[in-house]
Chains A and B, each alone.
Chain A
Amino acid sequence: MFKYFEPNKIFSITSKAPKYVLILFIIVLSIGLIEALILSPEDYKQSHSVRIMYVHVPAAWISLGIFSSITALSIIGYIFKIRNFFLISKSLAPSGFVFNIIALVTGSIWGKPTWGTWWAWDARITSMFILALFYLLYLIAWRIYKDDEKVFKITSIITILGIINVPIIKYSVDWWSTLHQPASINLLSKSSIHTSMLFPLMIMTAAFALFSILIFLMKYNTELIKIKNKGLDRL
């Protein structure tokens, strides 16, 4: 089944897709920004500062989602020796890292007017900070090691070590007392965010996801051309 993901077969799609994704991203982002900054209501308690949620929460979700995907792809790639999965992982990492940084920085900006502090070493914030370090480690590993076999192994190990942190981030607010509030959105129960605020949150999540896809496609194409470049050298 994996052969359908061979670079030769999908390159004709990935090479043309970015410009359409870019257009779609700009449209969805514009709608999201208007919703988040102007149309959505203020919160009864946090007033307008609640608007920071519309960049903070999607960024955190997507950085966690991307790290989980990278880990799954790396493990499957390692077990079945699928080189292409490592290229996909490598191409996913940059946007995941940037979203992690966005989540930390906007969280800090949100914390000052609501909690009264820029930073607290509580379990949620610390574990999210550790995730950023794992992303950094992952990206640096790809820069240091040029030998394929070696870099595949090392990045797999980094993701396996890092994935333990992901459930800790998710449940930190339930397991320990933290300054960070518990999750508002739950798959199994009713969300504690009012519908008028849930809508901009979903639009912004869609926009951020599109941005990740855009960066992924561009990075993936770059990696493929890099391989073909080596191919030309051998002719």
Chain B
Amino acid sequence: MINEIFFMNGYGLYVWSAFLFTLLSFVSLYALIKAQYEREKNKFITKFGILNSEQVAAAETQSINKEILFNINI
């Protein structure tokens, strides 16, 4: 059983490399997009931190800004 799963009648190397390539692509793309997201979010938080009270009030009129600060977590 185990032998068949790894060896696959001589096709094991091909099958496993195809599946591994797919999974590695998934992980890399996820990591890349996640990093871009974190970078942009941190930039936003930093910028929001240096606003004065008047600007904060203006920014908070947009609900989307509040959601970026409090609601997002992937």
Contacts and interface: CB of A to CB of B under 8 A. Distances in A.
Given A55-B22, A109-B21, A235-B51, A48 B15 contact: yes
B22 A15 contact: no
Dominant secondary structure at the B interface: helix
B11 A229 contact: no
B29 A98 contact: yes
Contact of A228 (B22, B51, B64): B64
B25 to A, nearest CB: 5
Interface string A16-34: 1011001000000000010
Interface string A98-140: 1001100110011011000000000000000000000000000
A102 B65 contact: no
Contacts of B19: 33, 36-37, 51, 55
Contacts of A37: 5, 15, 19
Contacts of A52: 14-15, 18
B62 interface: yes
A233 interface: yes
Nearest to B7: A48
A225 B58 contact: no
Contacts, number: 126
Contacts of B62: 8, 228, 231
B47 A94 contact: no
Contacts of A90: none
A106 B22 contact: yes
Interface residues of B, number: 42
A19 B74 contact: yes
A233 B46 CA distance: 12
Interface stretch (A76-84, A141-149, A178-186, A216-224): A216-224
A102 B29 CA distance: 12
- Classify chain A's interface size: 35 or more
Given A94-B33, A222-B40, A15 B71 contact: yes
B72 A221 contact: yes
A12 B67 contact: yes
Contacts of A219: 33, 36-37
Contacts of A113: 10-11, 14
Interface string B4-26: 01001111101101110110011
Given A48-B11, A228-B44, A229-B44, A11 B64 contact: yes
A125 to B, nearest CB: 16
Interface in B17-74: 17-19, 21-22, 25-26, 29-30, 32-34, 36-37, 40-41, 43-44, 47-48, 51, 55, 58-59, 62-65, 67-68, 71-74
Q: Which 5 A-B pairs have the closest CB atoms?
A: A48-B8, A49-B11, A106-B18, A48-B11, A235-B55
